[in-house]
Amino acid sequence: MSHPGPLLPRDTEPESIVLRVRPHGRRLLLPVLVLFATVGAYGWFGGRLPEEWQNWGILIAAGALVFFGTLLPVFAWLGHRYTITSRRVIARTGLFVRHRQDLSLERVTEVRLRRTPLQAAFGSGDVRVLAGPEHALVLRDVPSAKLVAGMLDELR
């Protein structure tokens, strides 16, 4: 019979991903409405004006509205990601310039949940992970915020 070997302390266990989450998807409601309104308006007015430069102006305005009102907000939403592993919490933000914050679960002293009435209606909220008085990491508008806060409490 072979010996199973010594048990590994927590520090030598491999780190595993517990959860990956983005901010709540309701942030995309306004960009989608802007897209539908712009496409509808261009479908109605595009090509109907008497001067060619006016038709080009409408096309350029519609393109700018779709770019700034739909594409940039969607890419900004995609640029936010929160990852919770067995050892740390990682927050990645930014569209063109990336920012990353890591917080070791060993340093976490408290996990707080804050919800506005709108967030409570959708089951989302802001989870604040505190590591002493000077360092906090806020996971903004995460879906299933109560579950995420409870999981972080258990992991620490």
pLDDT number for residue 9: 54
Q: β-strands 17-21, 88-93: how paired?
A: unpaired
What is the pTM for the complete model shown?
Answer: 0.77
Asked if residues 113 and 149 have their Cβ atoms less than 8 Å apart, the reply is yes
Q: β-strands 88-93, 99-104: how paired?
A: antiparallel
Q: What is the mean pLDDT of each run of 10 residues along the chain (156 residues)?
A: 50 81 93 96 86 91 96 93 91 88 88 92 92 85 92 86
